[in-house]
Amino acid sequence: MNNYKLLIQYDGGRYQGWQRLGNGENTIQGKLEQVLSALLGEPTELIGCSRTDAGVHALAQTAHFKTALEPSEEEIKLYFSQYLPHDIGVLEVSRVPESFHARYCAKNKTYLYQIWNRTYPNPFLRKYSMHVRQELDLDAMRQAAGHLLGAHDFTAFSNAKSKKKSMVRLLHDIQITQRDGCVRVRVRGSGFLHQMVRRVVGTLVAAGSGAIHADSIPDILQSKERKRAGYIADACGLFLEHIDYSDN
């Protein structure tokens, strides 16, 4: 079987998320599979690295598919560019070893979250950021973020329904920067629970606005109680920014 890797970007604003839902076609995976199956002339499954939620965007989603056919990389890329909606784009197509798996081979993922932190709204960022009117204390946010680094049970920071799998995740880095009114939070980790990044951001905003103390994070983690963590930040501000497949 031939194995192809795709690098994909999308504006998730009008979709129900990445993962195909039954016969519904209003998902990123569904749209891509529909076009891909038409190209290959057979039903084809596309496996994505991250199952982004409804309204979440991607700057660098990675996916793969297998086929006995041998279309060229350029042929696949051109076909996608002709038939995909304009809010989904396939940037790169490459043939990879059959052992490559978009989800299982990923080492780390980086998510970017944008917060518009001014009293007045920004009409040009309203679809791609969360508006927080109160001025945020970035030092308090960074102090809170420091407590989240490392391996922890993130039950309090997730809406994951199943308790059968481990809720422990490893966060390598959280960077918080601000420029021209836009606060950017980058979270890099080996993996994430359902809505974990959005709840982490909501908790950091709570620390930055004084609603909770930055040093309360260890107690929130230990409690495993979702009601003690911050709210779930808006989906529109979240981007899957990078997936690392290196061995380093």
**Per-position DSSP letters for 79-148, written without gaps between them:** HHHHHS-TTEEEEEEEEE-TT--TTTT--EEEEEEEEE-SSS--TTTTTSSEE--SPP-HHHHHHHHHTT
> If residue 168 lies in a helix (H) or strand (E), which one and from where to where?
strand 168-179
pLDDT on residue 21: 79
Residue 66 lies in domain: 2-96
Q: What are phi and psi of 10, to 5 degrees?
A: -160, 150
pLDDT at residue 163, rounded to an integer: 63
Residue 102 lies in a domain: no
Total domains in the chain come to 2
pTM of the shown model? 0.94
Looking up residue 23, the CATH number of its domain turns out to be: 3.30.70.580
3-state helix, strand, coil in the chain (%, to 5): 25, 30, 40
| Catalytic positions, written as ranges | 53
pLDDT, averaged per 10 consecutive residues of the chain (248 residues), comes to 97 95 82 96 96 96 97 97 97 97 96 98 96 98 98 91 80 97 97 95 97 96 91 97 83
On whether residue 60 sits in a domain, the answer given is yes
Predicted pLDDT of residue 248:
39
Pick the last residue of a domain from 38, 63, 96: 96
Strand partners, 134: none
* Residue 90 and residue 113 in one domain: no
72 shares its domain with 177: no
Tell whether 116 and 67 lie within a shared domain.
no
Q: How many helices (H) and strands (E) does the chain have?
A: 5, 10
